[in-house]
Chains A and B, each alone.
Chain A
Amino acid sequence: MPLDLFTEGDPIADTKAPTDVPIGERWSTRRFRARLVNPANRRKLTVIVVGTGLAGGSAAATLGEAGYKVKSFWYQDSPRRAHSVAAQGGINAAKNYRNDGDSVHRLFYDTVKGGDFRSREDNVHRLAEVSVNIIDQCVAQGVPFAREYGGLLDNRSFGGAQVSRTFYARGQTGQQLLYGAYQALERQIAAGTVEQHARTEMLDLIVVDGRARGIVARDLVTGEVSTHFADAVVLATGGYGNVFYLSTNAKGSNATAIWRAHKKGALFANPCYTQIHPTCIPVKGDYQSKLTLMSESLRNDGRVWVPKERGDDRDPREIPEDDRDYYLERIYPAFGNLVPRDIASRQAKNVCDEGRGVGPGGLGVYLDFGEAMQRLGRKAIEAKYGNLFDMYAQITGEDPYETPMRIYPAVHYTMGGLWVDYDLQSTIPGMFVIGEANFSDHGANRLGASALMQGLADGYFVLPNTINDYLADGPFEKVGESHPAAAEAMQGVQSQVQKLLSVNGTRSVASFHRELGKLMWDMCGMERSEESLRKALDRIPEIRQEFWTNVKVSGDWHSFNQTLEHAGRVADFIELAELMCIDALHRNESCGGHFRAESQTPEGEALRDDENYAYVAAWEWTPEGAPPVLHKENLEYEYVHLAQRSYK
């Protein structure tokens, strides 16, 4: 192991899950054992929730209903903009409405296996249990899920699952679920239980006597930096896929809140676990600002292929069947085009690496609906995928009904995040992390339609139950902005802002972000090797150095300054990228979204090393140049037996 890059500290473990009872009883047992807060006392307790996506929005609304004083923060103009809104496919729940053999245990099993045995069994089981309540809650809120003619909810099979457990609202499930949470949140704002802070970005965590007690935030309109205090802080700020510059995340999605909390002492778990989604619209030019995902439901009817011969640049419609390689169907006859995301992505990369990719730069594969159109008719395809086809046509200027789509993998989701225990509490007491921002439930690979499930599970059902146990000790001693810890955090933020403005160099913030992103994509993307990661680790400090001496941020801090916002986020991405590479380098095995070239089977499939790596890697920040410290949380599998994933 490259010990120059990190040191190893004490192992950590979750202490909150009641492992003395069977897994099916642990969540109810935990809820029973967790202390409660008297309704009259809740009014005296303040909770800060940062982010208003599925996790943050539902948590803020639920905590507000419960009687806590909630302060909700988001960087966009409205809570409804949070990027959960863009999720297309659906949300899983073990309702077994189809009577096709689904159950809480099967969803639990599928999720642990899909996560390539790198997630915590207790958390995943709870997720599967709670999944059924989510659907009930959302339907009651008026979420217009797809229904059948009998008036009951429709389900589909999604992302390689062999049961139909995915609930959906056309191709806009995330939007509809988010609006449900958003409306619940707005109701609490109107009721006065939630105080809103729109266009406000969290820039630091305030830790007093070892407890998270508040945040430093910048009002993005006036530029004013201020402190906000509470008895607990909840981060629901999403993933960090924008480290790669091009991703399916929103332009504003960032890691600043979790990264700065990490620098205040929260461990960061499995940063290298990145999900690369196989069906995205390929890159078209240098000016490209983001990548657009096409729901993977497209793989239910579309067939993925490339020409058999390299350099075959005929129009795809003129390539005869015999000259096409339907490589997923060829390699994985049992699952075919429906293999999990990590596998579909890596195989796309492989065929492109072989020079058989299509479209500009050879970075694309065909997703062909020709056969489905013949089988089902154009009308049926329109009804199922109309909005996705329109989106594709809008972006590419090509008509997917006429010519096969071109797709390529893109960064989509980050399974890594801040380490939390069963209560979703980080290693800083009083700081809870929910949704994509934590690391908890997806292991090394997330299954389709599971992100929405986790976000809402955390926000509606898990956190509001577990946070009571912590708050039962409150209210904590009052702190104000004059408290040394608050003043120091405030000072740190202000000096960073001023430093960014004072460099006045010659390179734009975006150019650094693009360079970092390309480096990470090439060296720490779909396939990582010791060589590529070492290269990245050599280059990242240089980028950081140049950033802080040559970046150009125009304008001033006390106004609406979008360049300054971006600069702060890129500064954090650069630091996070380094930790991601260290984590990827230390994990000398392939698992889920993390594919190490050195660790593969003779057929080129990912090869896990359970003997050495069946643990969560939780990293501790160390100030100024010292290498990060690795804390291992051992993963034990009591209920799902460790097995190599096979989709052949």
Chain B
Amino acid sequence: MTITQDGSRSTAGAASERRGMNLTLRIWRQKDPTVKGKMVTYKVSDVSPDMSFLEMLDVLNERLILDGDDPVAFDHDCREGICGMCGVMINGMAHGPQQTTTCQLHMRKFKDGDTIDVEPWRASAFPVIKDLAVDRSALDRIIQSGGYISVPTGTAPDAHAVPVPKKDSDAAFDAATCIGCGACVAACPNASSMLFTAAKVTHLGLMPQGQPERNDRVVNMVAQQDREGFGGCTNIGECSAACPKGISMENISRLNHDLLGALRAGARPKS
């Protein structure tokens, strides 16, 4: 694969002889949070269809470094679709045209000659750190506000003391698979974090162990997500369609149900 940036370098060799694809990338470049960013065009050629999207960016970056340019910053870690660290908007879709994480998106999903727009998640609660990397600590603070079961180490009863119906346990698992990547926020027209919050509320709310704190949990987590500056949910469904783990909208309904119940029962958020 070879790279050119806006004509400053020319493509070596005739691209038509190559097996791989030629692509035009338009990538959001922003040096730091204090400056305005812009889209910069890079041409890449000989991209193997077996590459992952991030491997394609790796190769681009290696060339940029050797050319003395600043490589494109992007977050990533496990590269097997589970840590939730990666995530960019690709052609206007969170994690790109397939319902998966960016690291698991492979270039075979694109065609020779395609132009691909790459942008960071955009939300005021997710300030850009650099280029495509954003600060998602707001999601951690939502968990801090109540996304846990208070059980100090060593105080637990035997694991079989409380049976959990398989149906509930399986449904809790489905919600608990949320990887906290933030695609739901990125895809939501309102930049709402409702699906993220709802997944945790549902996971813990379905387990018998989660019942004592159920009311306070939902009230505090919703209050925190509002405090972080996320938008409100208007039940559009872009979040669930973008979610690499397929967390369903059902969770949001469950959160609402729990929240209304909790408020009726007198639960109020901690200030």
Contacts and interface: CB of A to CB of B under 8 A. Distances in A.
Interface in B141-174: 143-145, 147-160, 162-166, 169-170, 172-173
A186 B144 contact: yes
A61 B148 CA distance: 12
Given A78-B140, A508-B62, A555-B70, A137 B32 contact: no
Interface stretch (B5-13, B44-52, B249-257): B44-52
Contacts of A138: 159
A147 B65 contact: no
Contacts of A170: 173
A83 B70 contact: no
A136 B180 CA distance: 26
How would you classify the secondary structure of chain B's contact residues: helix, strand, loop or mixed? loop
Most buried by A among B52, B71, B159, B173: B159
A147 B169 contact: yes
Nearest to A145: B169
B209 A86 contact: no
Interface in A77-119: 77-83, 85-86, 95, 97
Nearest to B57: A289
Contacts of A142: 149, 172, 203-204, 207, 209-210
Of the four ranges (under 10, 10 to 19, 20 to 34, 35 or more), the interface on chain A belongs to: 35 or more
Nearest to B134: A77
Q: Which of B48, B75, B153, B169 has the most CB of A within 10 A?
A: B153
Interface stretch (B82-90, B185-193, B229-237, B261-269): B82-90
Contacts of B77: 76, 81, 83, 250-252
Given A137-B153, A183-B149, A506-B66, A289 B209 contact: no
Contact of B176 (A79, A179, A190, A509): A179
B114 interface: no
A554 B104 CA distance: 28
A350 interface: no
Interface string A65-84: 10000000000111111110
Interface centre among B59, B68, B75, B154 (most CB of A within 10 A): B154
A82 B150 CA distance: 22
Given A86-B80, A175-B82, A560-B130, A554 B65 contact: yes
Contact of B48 (A141, A182, A287): A287
Contacts of B198: none
B18 interface: no
Interface string A47-65: 0000000000010011001
B137 A78 contact: yes
B136 A552 contact: no
B147 A288 contact: no
B136 A77 contact: yes
Interface stretch (A148-156, A256-264, A579-587): A148-156
B143 A186 contact: yes
A622 interface: no
A154 to B, nearest CB: 9
Nearest to A182: B143
A510 B58 contact: yes
Contacts of B51: 285, 287
Contact of A563 (B1, B71, B139): B71
B115 interface: no
A508 B65 contact: yes
Interface in B110-150: 129-130, 133, 135-137, 139-140, 143-145, 147-150
Contact of B143 (A140, A175, A183, A559): A183
Contact of B144 (A76, A187, A510): A187
B167 to A, nearest CB: 9
A397 interface: yes
A221 interface: yes
B173 A176 contact: yes
A-B pairs, top 4 by smallest CB distance, nearest first, are A151-B163, A140-B156, A183-B148, A144-B173
19 contacts: A78-B85, A80-B84, A81-B78, A83-B77, A85-B78, A137-B156, A140-B156, A142-B149, A153-B160, A184-B148, A187-B150, A250-B83, A252-B77, A287-B59, A289-B58, A391-B81, A395-B104, A397-B106, A563-B65
